[in-house]
Amino acid sequence: MSPSGAELLRQVKSQIEEVDPSEVHELMHEGVAVIDVRETEEYAAGHLPGAKHVARSYLETRIEGVVPDRSTQVILYCASGNRSAYAARTLKDELGYEHVRSMTGGITLWKDRGYEVVVPRALSSEQRERYSRHLLIPEIGVEGQQKLLDAKVLLLGAGGLGSPTALYLAAAGVGTLGVVDDDVVDLSNLQRQVIHSTQRIGIPKVDSAEESIHALNPDVNVVKYQTRIDASNIMEIIEGYDVIVDGVDNFPTRYLLNDATVRLKIPVVSASILGFDGQLSVFKPYEGPCYRCLFPEPPPPGAAPSCAEAGVLGVLPGLVGCVQALETIKLILGVGKPLIGRMVYFDTLNMELRIHKLRKDPNCPVCGPHPTVTTLIDYEEFCGLRTAPNSPTHAQTRQAAS
């Protein structure tokens, strides 16, 4: 005869280890993975500080994403300690986790003991609907969507790359978008700069971008900077942003941006495009190389013959800019493997993607242990010859399309 539910629970509890809330409280900050196995609505109503959510019904498929190392100390809890007991047995016996315990009495006993419970802010009903497809993704959910709504992203340039990044980040619910651009909308922009429109020719790009962003998502706060970034204003503009999306069209700004963002430890999602080719990387200060690790010094002014625009396929910034938006969202959410220390090359004419590892320069003049570049410099305008893709100077000599 099969055991009754109560008997089965007794059996399961005899096969696993349990831990008292007081011990969990002491262990919380010591690298222990605390997992809430309740349903999404229960977790959203309040959970232990720092607890990760993996509903019991998704335990087998999602636990590895949250706790990849099976030797990690794992503590599971639910409402009263029963569901987490079953889940603990599954982790131990079927998935091979070595140190799994279930918290006695669940969050109910935890609360009775007077320990802290974190209640995530709720989304409005309109937001739940607007972001419903995000809420379904385990890597985002309500918590991730809140992170997006709290995030501040600065877009350098409301041009070719800035158009798709601004639109998709706005659509995703990134709460604050700063837009830096001193230009006005020109007819020749519209072949690729899809955030603007024919009726807006002649008006400042920051105003045009703001109109499109608000039309798409009124949740987004747009901060406009109708100016060019230089050494005198860069620190003031970029301070306080979580991520910077670099779509600038000139190398002096790129060096200046690198030097300033390393100083403020702000990650930069950097891309450039030309013709049918694009490239993209994430420069996260001190976690991977910075731009100067790759190219320590800008070429001297006048070293290259011409700064004439070489042209760009209109759809290319759409593709590369969308990847920038995606990497930005990964950085905000803290999920996946961002493109830190790697450069992706798009050869869209032959439709080939290549990813190259980038190395940190141990003697980097900016992010190395003994930095020599200690003041912000406005480099004179310079430009470079186009070189073969993948040559070390490729990134440096490309002209990003604005």
Residue 281 Cβ, how far from Zn ion at the closest point, in Å? 13
DSSP state of 343: E
Closer of 46 and 371 to Zn ion (Cβ): 371
- Helix, strand, coil percentages for the chain (3-state, nearest 5): 35, 20, 45
The 3-state DSSP class for residue 371 equals coil
x/- site string to Zn ion, residues 335 to 364, per CB under 5 A? -----------------------------x
Relative to beta strand 33-36, strand 152-156 is unpaired
Q: In what order do the strands lie in the sheet with 268-274?
A: 221-225, 176-180, 152-156, 243-246, 268-274, 277-283, 342-347, 352-357
Q: In what order do the strands lie in the sheet with 99-103?
A: 17-19, 99-103, 73-77, 33-36, 52-53
Return the residue nearest Zn ion (CB atom): 364
170 sits near Zn ion (criterion: CB under 5 A) = no
x/- site string to Zn ion, residues 363 to 392, per CB under 5 A? -x-xx-------------------------
Residue 375 Cβ, how far from Zn ion at the closest point, in Å? 16
Residue 343 Cβ, how far from Zn ion at the closest point, in Å? 14
Binding residues among 274-333 for Zn ion as defined by CB under 5 A: 290, 292-293
Closer of 258 and 402 to Zn ion (Cβ): 258
Residue 286 Cβ, how far from Zn ion at the closest point, in Å? 9
Closer of 75 and 256 to Zn ion (Cβ): 256
Relative to beta strand 33-36, strand 176-180 is unpaired
Closer of 53 and 292 to Zn ion (Cβ): 292
Closer of 254 and 292 to Zn ion (Cβ): 292
Closer of 118 and 377 to Zn ion (Cβ): 377
Binding residues among 19-58 for Zn ion as defined by CB under 5 A: none
Residue 299 Cβ, how far from Zn ion at the closest point, in Å? 18
The answer to whether 158 touches 166, Cβ cutoff 8 Å, is yes
How many CB atoms lie under 10 A from the CB of residue 100?
27
How large is the angle between the packed helices 141-150 and 316-333, nearest 10 degrees? 110
Residues in the chain: 402
The answer to whether 303 touches 396, Cβ cutoff 8 Å, is no
Residue in this structure with the two tokens 């949250």, named with its chain if needed: 66
Closer of 76 and 294 to Zn ion (Cβ): 294
Number of residues that bind Zn ion (CB under 5 A): 6
Residue 289 Cβ, how far from Zn ion at the closest point, in Å? 6
Residue 17 Cβ, how far from Zn ion at the closest point, in Å? 47
Residues that bind Zn ion (CB under 5 A): 290, 292-293, 364, 366-367
